[in-house]
Structure 1
Amino acid sequence: MAIVEADSGRENPQPQTAPLIVHVVRQFLPNRGGLEDVVANLSRQTLRRGYRVRVVTLNSLFTAPEDKLPACENIDGIEVVRIPWSGSCRYPLAPQVFRHLGDADLVHVHAIDFFFDALAWGRMLHGKPMIVTTHGGFFHTRKYAAIKKIWFRTLTRASARAYRRVVCCSASDLKQFSEIVPDSVLIENGADIGKFADTASRLARRRIVSIGRFSVNKRLDHLLDAMAVLKGRDPEWHLDIVGAESDRNRVDIEGKIESRDLTGRVTLHVSPDNETIRRIITAASLFASASEYEGFGLVALEAMSAGLLPVLNANDAFQTLAERHAVIRLADFTSPETAATAMESAYADLACRPHALRSELLDAARGYSWDIVAGRYIDLYRSLDIAAAESL
């Protein structure tokens, strides 16, 4: 989970003649998560480059569907429009999206869900050029894997034909989507490397931070199993779990902590603000994720920018990052003993050469700054004959 703080009092400074990019995404601020962070940061960067930006999203959070959010809001200069929805959070139905595209110069859809399919099949109604960013598709868990593959090769393939470009945010996404869209392009997600920059403990400490939604695929059970092993080896180990409730809530996680006799060794932080997260990171040296699936691995990069040494489950996205950055440690979190040993080894290396490893972590994270990534998106927008603003 990457957390973005909003300032709803700022007005959009762009003239009405500036080109309008409409982002369509199922969840946005004030919700907290990787997808929301990507859209918010890209929107801010696009505004700075002279475009107007609108985000069309659902009018409630999946964690609190009965609590309706404002229909219209201005957040950091971003026009936010929220629309009613029904059905499942896995495939929310929100046909009112078509009402908010009429003045768009480009529609940028995020993720492979109802919006992706509906705007593709309804393109004769809105007539707008569109691109889509994959954000991991819908393979975040292995559940219904056979049905998902059939859906992907039929309906997803057909819907993708309506888009000018399919943008993959990770090498694993590119490998997958190239099977149905051979000209898919790769623009990896950016990371907010300034948010927690260089805040991790200067001294090696047996303290671990894990940040992410409380969802099934994050496999907090595996992380807690590894923590139980660490506690048995050295009682100084401590884990801070930071995240927002999703398909697992506070009670679920607290139950897992208590059942492993980890009370006092694991602290749970539910939806803290950035300043609180910063204080948590200041006391820690390691970052850990047992996630079995990631669209890109954004949170690991933000941890690296803070100076936390990552120990990550060897899923496809994390393997790709580790191939590029040798400082990242991979482990098999399905084996608690193996994962615990990997974290002990990471701590030992950090204790031996703290300055060299910290420098390596910060240097690796800089290459994913949003300024660089947004520039790639702007180049793509321009290549599709989307007019550039006069101020560019």
Structure 2
Amino acid sequence: MKHEPDTDEILNGVADFSDVRVVHVVRQYAPNIGGLEDVVRNLAAKQNGRFAGLKVVTLDRLFTDLSARLPERESIDGIEVCRIPFRGSTRYPLAPSVLGEIKNADLVHVHAVDFFYDALALSRFWHRKTLVATTHGGFFHTARFARLKQVWFNSLTRLSSSQYSGIACCSQSDFDLFRKIAPRRTELIENGVDLEKFGEAASVEPRKTLLTLGRFSTNKRLNLLLDLMKSLSTSEDNWTLHVAGVESDLTKNDILSRAQSLGLGSRVYVHVGLSNQQLRDLIGQCSLFVSASDYEGFGLVLIEALSAGLIPVVHANQAFQSLSDSNPLIRLCDFEDAKKTASAVDSALQDLLSDQSLRERAVQSVQRYGWSHTAKKYDDLYTRALRL
């Protein structure tokens, strides 16, 4: 259907989607925890009650526990969630029954560039739905199979992208990449962040306590954080590192075993599957955020850390570099040089000790990433897509 704004919509600046049915399609969703899942959940929460229909379609198993099937249908945050079966690799899960779940949709919003992105595009001649997408980093999270990924991107992804009425890139690096294959349909919409979730949660008193958040995946390079702790421990014996997230390529025992082998057993703590409240409590013990990740689709976890009042010392990957361009509180390092990174961490703590307003400045520095601003940009994207 074609959506045209009415007079109230123009005057109030709020799009009227009361006759529009939207389906979000994403490979993983709650109860899984992660940046992709959080973004979709927060966007859907902002949209709830404003559409004729709102549904999330996702896979019926979590990649962290493939043995357990989740309920086929349930309501989360008052939003219908439908889970469908899949087969094949978790890197490209095949789930053709998604086509049956979009029959009543006016607009389908696909999240990430995977099977859903390709399948819904290549079958558009049949289902005829308006498609929009958010890239969430594409599939360039690691350098593995780089040549194959480039060939895939410039062939199948290019073809699939031609069927989308709008492609939202959640980082400058994504935008620079996707505008090469879909220049007229690509725009930059940086991810919204739930700034209240960890808002001002960091320790009021500066502490020699580091925190990292996220999946225990290869690209996070948690081994380099342990090397950092080893370097810190040569001059100071009271630094502490908290590693919080969910198991992926690495398990909790993998991390603890390596910490033990480096003599860090009493200074490294690993937390798996904490609730948001438990994470807030943990952040309350910390003053600095660290990440050795060599790839991030957007850098959401860094913004969450700043919203808490943590001072970040992070690896200079492309996403973190982009965010640092407008935020001088972000300290970039090469985490492969543990000694220099340890010096940067110590310097960050000394700055915090001498100027405790840094904590509040960190909180204020990310207020523009609130969800109201981002949701409005998606309203505009939907309106343009439905007019095409």
Please indicate, yes or no, whether the TM-score normalized by the shorter chain is above 0.5: yes
Q: Quick check: 2:18–2:50 contact (8 Å CA) kept in 1?
A: no
Q: How does 1:165-176 map to 2 (within 5 A)?
A: 165-176=166-177
Matched with 1:211 is: 213
Please give the per-residue CA displacement for 1:133-182, whole angstroms capped at 9, x wherever unaligned.
Answer: 10001010101111111111111111100100111000011011111111
Q: Which of 226, 236, 260 is matched with 2:238 structurally?
A: 236
Q: Is the 8 A contact 2:56 2:82 kept in 1?
A: yes
What is the CA distance between 1:326 and its match in structure 2?
A: 0.6
SS at match of 1:278: helix
CA apart distance, 1:386: 6.7
Q: Indicate if the aligned counterparts of 1:63 and 1:245 stay in contact, CA closer than 8 A.
A: yes
Q: Give the match for residue 292 of structure 2.
A: 290
CA distance in 1, matches of 2:47, 2:242: 34
Cα distance in structure 2, aligned partners of 1:138 and 1:188: 17
Match of 1:343 in 2: 345
Partner SS, residue 287 of structure 1: strand
Superposition map of 1:351-362 within 5 A = 351-355=353-357, 357-362=358-363
CA–CA distance in 2 between the matches of 1:386 and 1:332? 47
Paired with 1:179 and 1:256, the residues of 2 have a C-alpha distance of 42
What is aligned with 2:7?
none
- Give the AA of the match of 2:109: H
TM-score by length of 1: 0.92
| Cα distance in 2, alignment partners of residues 278 and 54 from structure 1 | 29
CA contact (8 A) 1:106 1:386 kept: no
Distance in 1 (alpha carbons) for counterparts of 2:281 and 2:60: 32
What residue is the counterpart of 1:32 in the other structure?
Answer: 33
The 5 Å alignment of 1:189-228 reads 189-228=191-230
RMSD, aligned CA: 1.4
Report the alpha carbon displacement of residue 47 of structure 1 after superposing the two structures with TM. 1.1
The separation in 2 between residues aligned to 1:19 and 1:328, in whole angstroms, is 41
CA contact (8 A) 1:18 1:50 kept: yes
Corresponding residue for 2:265? 263
Structure 1 residue runs of 5 or longer lacking an equivalent are: 1-15, 388-392
1:51 CA displacement:
5.2
Counterparts of 1:358 and 1:153, CA distance in 2? 44
Write the letter of the residue equivalent to 1:146. Answer: R
Question: Retained in 1: the 8 A contact 2:118–2:157?
Answer: yes
Query: Residue 91 of structure 1 aligns to which amino acid in structure 2?
Result: Y
Could you tell me which residue of structure 1 aligns to residue 320 of structure 2?
318
CA contact (8 A) 2:168 2:187 kept: yes
When residues 202 and 180 of structure 1 are mapped into structure 2, their CA distance, relative to the original with a 3 A threshold, is same
User: Given the two structures, how large is their TM-score scaled by the length of structure 2?
Assistant: 0.93
**Whole-Å separation in 2 of the counterparts to 1:361 and 1:36:** 25
TM-aligned CA deviation for residue 17 of structure 1 = 6.4
**What is the total number of aligned residue pairs between the two structures?**
371
Alpha-carbon distance in 2 for matches of 1:240, 1:359: 22
Q: Would the aligned equivalents of 2:291 and 2:314 in 1 still touch at CA under 8 Å?
A: yes
**SS of residue in 1 equivalent to 2:325:** helix
Q: Which residue of 2 aligns with 1:53?
A: 54
Aligned partner of residue 240 in structure 1, secondary structure: strand
Gaps of 5+ in 2: 1-16
| Paired position in structure 2 for 1:178 | 179
The residue type equivalent to 2:330 in the other structure is: I
The alpha carbon displacement at 1:371 in A equals 1.2
CA contact (8 A) 1:217 1:293 kept: yes
- Distance 1:45-1:99 versus aligned 2 partners, 3 A rule: same
CA contact (8 A) 2:32 2:62 kept: yes
Report the CA distance shift for 1:385/1:284 in structure 2 as closer, same or farther (over 3 A): same
Q: 3-state SS of the aligned residue for 1:36? A: helix
How far has the Cα of 1:125 moved from its partner?
2.1
CA-to-aligned-CA distance 1:333-376 (integer Å, 9 cap, x gap): 01111211111111111111011x12321111111001111111
User: Does the CA contact (< 8 Å) of 1:19 and 1:386 recur in 2?
Assistant: no
Contact 1:196 1:302 (8 Å CA) reproduced: yes
> 2:379 is matched with which residue?
378
Give 2:67's aligned residue. 66
Q: Is the 8 A contact 1:105 1:386 kept in 2?
A: no
